[in-house]
Amino acid sequence: MAVSWYAVLALAATALGATIGPTEKQILEKSACGRVWVTVHSPEIRLAASVTLLDAVELNWDFNGCFSTPTQIGLFDDRPQSWNNALAVFRVTSVEGHVITNMSLGAGTLPAGWATGAGTKGPQCLWPWVAAGDNNEIRAFNCLKIQPTWMEDAGPKINNLRIGDLAIAGTHNAGAWKFDTEVSSVSRDSFVLCQDRSIWGQLVHGIRYFDFRIAYYDFYDKEEDRYWLNHNLIRVRPLVPLLREIRAFLDVTREVVFLDAHHFPVGFYQPDGAPIRSVHTGLLQIVQRELGPHLALANQFGTGIGTRGPTLQTLINANKRLLFSYVDNSIVSQNPWLWPILPHLWANTNSPTELFQYLDRAIASSPSPSARSPLFSAMAQTTPTVLDILFLRGSLRDNADAVNRNVTARLATRWRTQANIISTDFFLGNDVVDLSIMISVERASRL
C-alpha cells in the first residue's frame, strides 16, 4: 500500500478560516511518506498479580511503498521536537506494525474546552504524540486527536459530496458505554460494553454514526423512562439522556449526525411479529421532541432509490443535520420523514478471518443499485457466540483488539474507494476517524 500524502489534518480554525494555511503549530500530523498514529489498547494488560494497565497507549506505523522505513518510533507527551524528549523509544524492524507502550492514556479528558460543551474548533490533541525517524531526525509525527468539527473544518472541500459518498466513522451499539444499571456481573461487563466513551465523547472524537438498539419496558411509570438502549436483552442506559447529548452537540456545531434505530430487541413487537404501533409512535414522538429542530426529514431531503442522498451542503444550508433511519419498513411507510432501513454489512461471525473475507466482498458490492437508503454500514466487529458468553471466553475488548488494527489497514487500502460508514467497537483502538476524514477529502477532490 502506498500511502503517500503530506498529511495536514489541521485546518486553520481561525476567523479567516480556510483562506490562510495552517502554521507549523497547527499541524498535528505530518509525514512525507507513510504514516504514524496513536491508538488505545482496548483490553486491560496484567502487569503483575494485582497490577493492571488500562488504556495502554499504542504506537502504529505504516511505511509501505516508501523509499525507506524509519529505524525507531517513540512516544511523546508534547509535539515531538527531539528524541531527547521521548518518554519511550522502540526499534522499528518492519514496514508496518505497532507497539503497545506501558503508559496509560489516563482519564482521557476531552481537551480544548470540549469536556462538557463547545470548545475550540478544529482537531485538538490529547497528550500522547508519536514520532518516527532515525537517531537524528524525526520524519513523521502525529497525536491522538479529537475531531469535534471535522465536517465544518473540511467543509470547503467535502460539502459537495453526497452523504452516501462520504467515509464516516461509526460505533456499533453506541450506547453500551458504561454499565451502571441495576445488575452488573463479569459476563455483562465482558460482553455488554462495546464502547468506553459517552455519546458526547464519541461525537467530540469525530464519530458521526450511531447504531442504537432500543428496547421498551412498560413497567416504568413515565413513558419516557420506558425507552432504553440495550445490548440484545440487557438494559444498558435510558434513551432520553443520550438523545440530549446528541442534541447538545448539534446545537453547538455545524456537524451532520446519522442516528440509526437498527434493532428493537424488547417490547416493540407482538409475539406474532406485528409491530406494537403505540410503542413505535411513542419513540418517534420522543425523537421529535428531543431532536426536532435538527431533523432532516427523508421526505424533504431524500433523493430516491439507488441514489446517494443529499449533499452535505444541502443539509447545512437548510441547517437540518440529524438523519434518523429506522429499521422497520412498515413504520417508515407511515412516517415518511424517517430514513429507510440502513443496510448493515454484518458477518455474524466470531472469526476475524471470516469477518474480513465477508466485508471485503460486501463492501465491494455495496451499495446495492436498488438500495432504499443512501447509506450503508460495515459492521467491523466480530460477534461472540452464546457459548463464548456462557463460558466467559474472551471479551468484547479482546474481540475488538483482534480486529481494530486490521480495520484501519483495510480502510486505507481495499475499502478505500467504496466504504461508507465503518462501525466498530472501542473505536480508539483504530484510526477510522482520521482515515475517513482523509478519504472523504480525497473522494471530494475527484468530483
CB of 34 to ligand NAG, least distance (A): 15
Comparing every residue's Cβ against ligand NAG, the nearest one is 88
Q: Is 445 in the site for ligand NAG (CB under 6 A)?
A: no
Residue 161 and residue 374 in contact, taking contact as beta carbons nearer than 8 Å:
no
Among 12, 88, 95, 240, binds ligand NAG (CB under 6 A): 88
For residue 208, which of 243, 245, 169, 247 has the smallest C-alpha distance? 169
Q: Is 353 in the site for ligand NAG (CB under 6 A)?
A: yes
For ligand NAG, the closer CB: 174 or 380: 380
CB of 403 to ligand NAG, least distance (A): 7
Residue 39 and residue 431 in contact, taking contact as beta carbons nearer than 8 Å:
yes
Q: Is 352 in the site for ligand NAG (CB under 6 A)?
A: yes
CB of 353 to ligand NAG, least distance (A): 5
Q: Is 349 in the site for ligand NAG (CB under 6 A)?
A: no
For ligand NAG, the closer CB: 298 or 347: 347
x-marked contacts with ligand NAG along 356-395 as a string, rule CB under 6 A: x---------------------------------------
Amino acid at 221: D
Instruction: Give the DSSP letter string of 102-147.
Output: EEE-TT----TTTTTS---SS-EEEEEEEEEE-SS-EEEEEEEEE-
CB of 308 to ligand NAG, least distance (A): 29
For ligand NAG, the closer CB: 406 or 418: 406
Give the three-class secondary structure for 3.
coil
Q: Is 303 in the site for ligand NAG (CB under 6 A)?
A: no
394: left (phi over 0), alpha (psi -120 to 50) or beta: left
CB of 65 to ligand NAG, least distance (A): 15
Segment lying near ligand NAG (by CB under 6 A), choices 113-121, 224-232, 352-360, 389-397: 352-360
User: What is the C-alpha separation between 51 and 27, in angstroms, rounded?
Assistant: 37
Among 406, 413, 441, 443, binds ligand NAG (CB under 6 A): 406
Can you tell me which residue has the cell 409512535? 281
Amino acid at 55: D
Task: Please state, in angstroms and as integers, the Cα–Cα distance from residue 58 to each residue in 128, 187, 205, 277, following that order.
Answer: 9, 26, 17, 48
For residue 344, which of 257, 258, 402 has the smallest C-alpha distance? 258
For ligand NAG, the closer CB: 251 or 354: 354
For ligand NAG, the closer CB: 8 or 47: 47
User: What is the C-alpha separation between 118 and 49, in angstroms, rounded?
Assistant: 42
For ligand NAG, the closer CB: 84 or 370: 84
Q: Is 102 in the site for ligand NAG (CB under 6 A)?
A: yes
CB of 246 to ligand NAG, least distance (A): 33
Q: Residue 181 CB: number of other CB atoms within 10 A?
A: 14
Segment lying near ligand NAG (by CB under 6 A), choices 138-146, 216-224, 303-311, 348-356: 348-356
What are 340's three cell numbers? 429507510
Amino acid at 48: A
What are 435's three cell numbers? 482515515
CB of 352 to ligand NAG, least distance (A): 4
Segment lying near ligand NAG (by CB under 6 A), choices 1-9, 142-150, 320-328, 349-357: 349-357
**123 prior amide bond cis, ω within 30:** no
DSSP state of 254: -
What are 227's three cell numbers? 425507552
Segment lying near ligand NAG (by CB under 6 A), choices 60-68, 169-177, 253-261, 351-359: 351-359
What are 20's three cell numbers? 490562510
- State residue 24 phi and psi, 5-degree precision: -55, -40
Residues of the shown chain interacting with ligand NAG in the complex, contacts defined by CB under 6 A: 88, 102, 352-353, 356, 406
